[in-house]
Amino acid sequence: MMPIITLLLILLGFGMVPSMAQQHRVWVDTDLSSGRPVGDMDDALALLMLLRDTSVHIEGISVVHGVRHARRVTAKLLRWYAPARDTPIHRGADTQRELGQRTEAVNAMIRALEKGPMTVLALGPATNVATVLTLRPDLVPQMQKVGFCGGRWANMVFAPDGGKVRFSDYNFEHDSVAARLLLQSGVPLLLAGYDCSDGFFLHRALYRPLKGSSHARDRWMYRNLSRWEWVWQHVFGVKDGFIPFDCSTVGALLHPDEFCIRADRAATVTEGPNDARSIVKTDRKMFLTVGAQGGIHRVDHCYHTHGIFRERLLNALLRDLSTDP
Ligand SMILES: [Ca+2]
């Protein structure tokens, strides 16, 4: 009888390999910071999902500011999960002050867009992506969609699990000018940030099987997922695990049936009273808000992740175990 995990992989599309012409061209702009000694695991899990999704061809990966070791860890993940592919990694802006400046990442993203339409996943501050749109507005039609891990429904507070910490809208707030440029560019934009992930937790019981895997990459994942969960528990005061925010951004764009998405809603960038003082120390800060009065730009907004997507993520994460002796 076929093992149930193999059956699930086939049902979820992991068992079929389309030709490159059939694959979805994707660019990943990331602030991956996993490991060394502890960092968030969102981008790493999102990249793992993309690398294990045979319907996707990653044209390139660009690194955006705010993290250290991103290129080294990204290269490690590519060696582990896609050794046969030659996926380039490009250095982008080192700070948000480089918005509008040409970088290796900007030039590479422009070349990829000149080759044909593609989807862009903005999993960190939007500096690199906004620079491309600013320097080459003629390429807006080539961006089929930009998925940005940021933004919120009006008055949404980022307080996971009633924990003691209220999160900021990190990617947006670390370059709100770039996010505003994304809105103004007219590019089809899907905002899939905190709102869609609120309540979407991963916890150790779900990924513990990695600990005993014969694959070094699985054990690395287990160690770093555990450390990140420890931070959520002991620093953020959250008991239910951690939220892998970037994964929902990837999923909402590639598998929208597994999410709740409001289409074509008004969005705006405004300043207001700071609602995350444990993270940001100013009295006021910027907000990227959907559904508020005064919004003039149109976006799609993801606000819920269905349980089937958790199965998709876990199947990608635990896939090696099905081939363990
Ligand atoms: Ca990220």
Q: What is the mean pLDDT of residues 60-77?
A: 90
Distance 42 CA to ligand 1 centre (A): 6
Distance 124 CA to ligand 1 centre (A): 4
Size of the chain, expressed as the number of residues it contains: 325
Beta strands in the chain (DSSP E): 24-30, 56-63, 89-91, 118-122, 143-148, 152-153, 189-191, 259-273, 284-290, 297-305
pLDDT band of residue 35 (cuts 50, 70, 90) is: low
pTM, 2 dp: 0.91
Nearest residue to 109 via CA among 83, 143, 141, 80: 143
Among residues of the chain, what percentage have pLDDT more than 90? 74
- In this predicted structure, the answer to whether residue 14 has a pLDDT above a threshold of 60 is no
Is the distance from CB of 138 to CB of 183 less than 8 angstroms?
A: no
Is the distance from CB of 269 to CB of 180 less than 8 angstroms?
A: yes
- In this predicted structure, the answer to whether residue 323 has a pLDDT above a threshold of 60 is yes
Distance 188 CA to ligand 1 centre (A): 20
Distance 2 CA to ligand 1 centre (A): 36
Q: Which range is least confidently modeled, 56-70, 157-171, 309-323?
A: 157-171
Distance 43 CA to ligand 1 centre (A): 5
Q: Which range is least confidently modeled, 50-59, 82-91, 158-167, 207-216?
A: 158-167
Among residues of the chain, what percentage have pLDDT more than 70? 93
Classify the C-alpha dihedral 11-17-23-28 as positive or negative: positive
Distance 215 CA to ligand 1 centre (A): 25
Q: What is the mean pLDDT of residues 85-99?
A: 95
- In this predicted structure, the answer to whether residue 101 has a pLDDT above a threshold of 80 is yes
What is the model's pLDDT at position 2? 44
Distance 192 CA to ligand 1 centre (A): 12
3-state secondary structure of 184: helix
Distance 3 CA to ligand 1 centre (A): 34
Distance 4 CA to ligand 1 centre (A): 32
Beta strand pairing call for 143-148 and 259-273: unpaired
For residue 217, count CB atoms less than 10 angstroms from its CB and return exposed for 0-12, middle for 13-18, buried for 19 or more. Answer: middle
**Torsion angle in degrees (nearest 10) through CA of 67, 71, 75, 81:** 40
- In this predicted structure, the answer to whether residue 230 has a pLDDT above a threshold of 90 is yes
What is the model's pLDDT at position 1? 40
Distance 113 CA to ligand 1 centre (A): 22
Q: How many CB atoms are located within 10 Å of the residue 216 CB? A: 9
Distance 33 CA to ligand 1 centre (A): 8
Nearest residue to 25 via CA among 110, 88, 115, 125: 115
Is the distance from CB of 252 to CB of 261 less than 8 angstroms?
A: yes
Is the distance from CB of 113 to CB of 132 less than 8 angstroms?
A: yes
In the DSSP assignment, the letter for residue 259 is: E
pLDDT band of residue 324 (cuts 50, 70, 90) is: low
Per-residue pLDDT tens for 244-288? 999 999 999 999 999 999 999 999 999 988 888 777 788 888 999
| Whole-angstrom distance, CA of residue 107 vs CA of residue 87 | 16
Which domains are present in the chain?
A: 4-323 (3.90.245.10)
- In this predicted structure, the answer to whether residue 59 has a pLDDT above a threshold of 70 is yes
CA distance to 35, 40, 68, 288, 299, per residue, from 32 (Å): 9, 8, 9, 22, 25
What is the model's pLDDT at position 16? 54
| Whole-angstrom distance, CA of residue 155 vs CA of residue 158 | 10
List all residues 6 or more positions away from 108 whose beta carbon is below 8 Å from its beta carbon: 60, 62, 88, 90
Distance 324 CA to ligand 1 centre (A): 30
Q: How many CB atoms are located within 10 Å of the residue 270 CB? A: 12
Q: Is the peptide bond before 88 cis (omega within 30 degrees of 0)?
A: no
Q: What is the mean pLDDT of the chain?
A: 90
Distance 119 CA to ligand 1 centre (A): 17
- In this predicted structure, the answer to whether residue 13 has a pLDDT above a threshold of 70 is no
Six token digits for residue 78: 């590519």
Distance 117 CA to ligand 1 centre (A): 23
